[in-house]
Structure 1
Amino acid sequence: MSLWQIAARNVWRNRGRYLAYLGSAAFAVMIYFIYTALARHPDLQGGYAGASAVIQGIRAASVVIAGITFVFLMTSNSAFVRSRKKEFGLWSLMGVTRGQLMAVVLWESLFIGAAALAIGLGFGVLFLRLFFMAISVLLRLPETLSIYAGPPVWVQTLAVFGAFFVFVSLYSLTDIVRSTVIDLIRAERKPKAAPTFRWWKSLLGLVLVAGGYAWASAPWPTAIILGVVPVTIMVSVGTVFLMQEGSIALLGWLRRREGFYYRTAPFLTVSHLRFKLQENAQVLANTAVAIAVILTAVSTIYTLLVVFAHEAQMR
């Protein structure tokens, strides 16, 4: 049996573990494909008033979605590899060379990436017409935007996410290369450091979120247009910081309440959550930011419509 066949069997055997990762990656590919198709639509290349501003907002949202997806893929893939270190160590004891082990892990990652691209692009084509109909209603266009999914849209989506999956696959091998057989086998037994609350990080997150929403609430059209990219970045980074440090602070506060903490159920639950949230806080924050960016991008289109309509009426 060849190495790629072994990798395919491993992916199928661990399909339950990979399902959430695959679904999230496919969803990100679908959203990026749809937004890229809208940004590159021929009818919006100067065909309507204010179209250039709408395209800028959509492109900014696409960049943020791609960045969040990249961080999510890095975090999730590292967690999967870390959870299977003992399995890799046993393979090494059975005679599997380090090169063969790396090839199997690389094939697994590429299989998941190819499946995510295929599923995401398939659903992107499926929902493309519905998305264009909704955008046409929001922009109050005289007629519905025609379906557009030209070669540049496919090439850009495949290039961006293909590069992501290849880089993440190669990055996942670095931890295996640096670990010895004993380290791989004992990976699950290593004690985890207790999470510590960092006040400066939580304060920075609060300032970024508050500043971002204050900027977005400015009543001036120029501030809204210029703030699309900075506000998105500020709120995204601030949300990640607040999610990480806020969860640690909350669980630390519960732990200090002796009357509540030193009981069977809270003792086990809070102690377990302290370490699980430390591992998964970044993934949860990335998911929250991705959903917020998607909703905000659609709202931005409608906001720009109202702003330009008001300016045209005043003039």
Structure 2
Amino acid sequence: MSLTKTQLLQAYRTMATIRQFEERLHRENTSGDIAGFLHLYAGQEAVATGVCGHLNDADSIGSTHRGHGHCIAKGCDIDGMMAEIFGRKAGLCGGKGGSMHIADLSRGMLGANAIVGGAPSLAIGAALTAKTLATGAVTVSFSGDGASNQGTTFEAMNMAVVLQLPIVFVFENNGYGEGTGCDYAVGSRDIAGRAAAFGMHAARVDGTDFFAVHQAAGEAIARARRGDGPSALEAVAKRYYGHYEGDPMLYRHPGEVAALRASSDPLVLFRQRTASAIGAAEYDRIDQEIAEQIDSAVQRARNAPFPDPSHDLLSDVYVSY
């Protein structure tokens, strides 16, 4: 699948924005100014970027507790995201959702989800709406390897096949469901194969390889968009940080993360793959622009007001139809 230089630069910008956003939150979290849990996406950037590059604002995604990367790849506003994570009124959800419930319906981002396996059953609702109204929209459900074992996930996949819904189930196999290894918890050790048993096309790719993800996701999304039903994609890419910020990661081998960063960093692999078309100086310029953008987002978030309980406590609780 050929990409123009403009598309390559945009893909790198998205991945680099995710990485710098997460690395900055890792540092900012030590200040004590961020309430609630943070689950960082670093190491998995190629998955969200490769998938969401095929989507538009009319398409929907269901996310996970590790949702910042999905938000950025779907086009959510960086300032609004940062303000939300800092609990400020200027946030995407008015500062009341925080990291684990961040959402932006205007971008088709249905929300991060604190429930393991929560996205698939929500996503098939969006996919059923798209099919019923014949909008041509596609839904992507992001789940982790831990969520691949949930009964709600199985029910959602079965329903998607029965109703031939325009949905792609993306399973991000980052090696661990909280602190339990995928090789232990997934009996078949083959998430894609298990999804295929429901009667849908399924593929397994290297989740650190943007191009592999982009091609497989493009085929699956095109299949859904033309009415040929659901697909599943298992993307293998281990996360760099713990399940949550503060996780001591005693379940991981010493040196594991350092080895991952040295050998399979999605951004480094992307730059190496495209070196003949794009010079290091162009990538370095993008990195600097992103650093400045994130610096500004942090400062704006810190200076923004908190929600006012007298006005905001009971807003956004019910939807009026």
Instruction: With the length of structure 2 as denominator, give the TM-score of the two structures.
Output: 0.24
The higher relative CO (CA closer than 8 Å, separation ≥ 6) is in 1
Larger Rg computed on CA atoms: 1
* Greater per-residue strand proportion: 2
Instruction: With the length of structure 1 as denominator, give the TM-score of the two structures.
Output: 0.24
